[in-house]
Amino acid sequence: MIKRSVSDIVEEIRNTLEGEYREIIIEGEISNLSSSASGHWYFTLSDENASMRACLFKMDALRNPLIRKVKNGDKVECHGKVGVYVKRGEFQLIAKKVLIGGVGDLKLDYENLKRQLAADGLFDQEHKKNIPLLPKRVAVITAEKAAALQDFLNIFHRRSLWMDVVLSPALVQGNDAPASIVGALHRILMMDKNSPSDKKIDLIVITRGGGSMEDLWAFNDEALAYEIFNCPIPVISAVGHEVDYTICDYVSDLRCETPSAAAEIITETMVTIIERLKSAVSSLERSGRFISMDSKRRLEEVGPVQIVDIILSRFYKLKSRFERVSQIKDFDQITRFSDKYLDLDRLIDDLFRLMDLKIKNNHLSLEKQNKVLHALNPKQVLVRGYSYIQTKEGKVISNIKKFDSLDSGSQVKVIFSDGSGIATKS
């Protein structure tokens, strides 16, 4: 026997697969479809017996715009080659072209069963049982070592004080899973029937983590749907993730997005009660401290020492007021109020004198400016014998160039200081 390294084996498998399956066409049903920020598309191809990973890289996706119309459950035809990712030892289909081939068998079966059960009234709201606000005992149906169970229990135990959890283990994936889940449900009903009144089961939670449609197919079983519908105990379905919907979700009395969400909803009322109790305790402690401090203060106020202090304080206040009253007779001497009246009269006289002076100065300045304006008036120039001419349109002819530009025989207007006249250019 020859000892080989992992790298050697994976590399040989890679060479064999990539050399053998360089151009293939694979038909299957799409699930777990997603796109990355870099533009690559990833999905799973499956049929009733097997599944494999596949990808459509960015450049090929740009040449296949129909990829944006593909949905989970669609049957497609993928052209491409098999590639091996050496670091993880995984093989996948590297698609070059994706053609839509119709709705997949699983998706079609799911929709048909959903329509049938809806027509039979299994999803009607009027048949839904109320979820107890404070269940004492909760039964959970899931795989014994499932991560979903741990998620549920972690939140449940952290938020709950007195609720009991009973596990009824079952298979949650594979061909035998539906019968296993039904068997777990029957065990819970039998346990409830044989338990005393204080140990009855108040609520059942059916749960598992997320996965592809194939992984969750056990929860799309018709027999399981009728068992849940006829169950006398309220049932919560917490299967998969937020985007996953199964027949179990529709027929149960309440659907939760995840196992953690189910634990939070079940314990919500208890958490509210606990928070209110904590708030009440804090309020009582604050009230107790306030009453104690207030009582101590009031007790100190009526003690002998405090009464003597109050009497002395009032005595000194009255003494101070009396001393101020005895000084009123010397008010004018202290304040020199008469001097203030004299100062005020003097200031008023000064104000009127300054106002008169200001008015006179402004009057003289105004007269001086008026004379300047009169001297600069253009008409004063005309009085000294000057005149100016205008065209018929009123434009001033200020130089010989403008006058020469007039046509011979043109009439102009001559402006004098006391009137105007018309002249004709020769």
Tell me the DSSP string of 191-229: HHHHS-GGG---EEEEEE----TTTTGGGG-HHHHHHHH
pLDDT 10s digits, 305-331: 676 677 778 877 877 776 776 655 555
In this prediction, residue 334 carries a pLDDT of 53
Average pLDDT, the chain: 84
Distance CA 178, CA 362 (A): 111
What are φ and ψ of residue 424, in 5° steps?
A: -115, 135
In this prediction, residue 303 carries a pLDDT of 61
pLDDT 10s digits, 343-396: 777 888 888 888 888 888 888 888 888 887 777 776 666 667 677 788 878 787
Residues of the chain with CATH 2.40.50.140: 6-103
Give the whole-number percent of the chain exceeding pLDDT 70: 89
pLDDT 10s digits, 4-44: 788 888 888 888 888 888 888 898 898 999 988 888 999 99
In this prediction, residue 224 carries a pLDDT of 94
- Place 119 in a pLDDT band, splitting at 50, 70 and 90: very high
Residues of the chain with CATH 3.40.50.280: 110-266
Q: Which fold has domain 110-266?
A: Rossmann fold (3.40.50)
Q: What is the mean pLDDT of residues 74-85?
A: 88
Q: What angle do CA 201, 202, 203 make, to 5 degrees?
A: 100
pLDDT 10s digits, 171-222: 998 889 999 999 999 999 999 999 998 889 999 999 998 877 778 888 999 9
- Could you give the 3-state DSSP secondary structure of residue 197? helix
pLDDT at 134 over 70: yes
pLDDT at 332 over 70: no
Write down the residue that tokens 């449609």 correspond to. Answer: 213
pLDDT 10s digits, 246-266: 999 999 999 998 899 999 999
Distance CA 230, CA 186 (A): 11
Q: Which fold has domain 6-103?
A: OB fold (Dihydrolipoamide Acetyltransferase, E2P) (2.40.50)
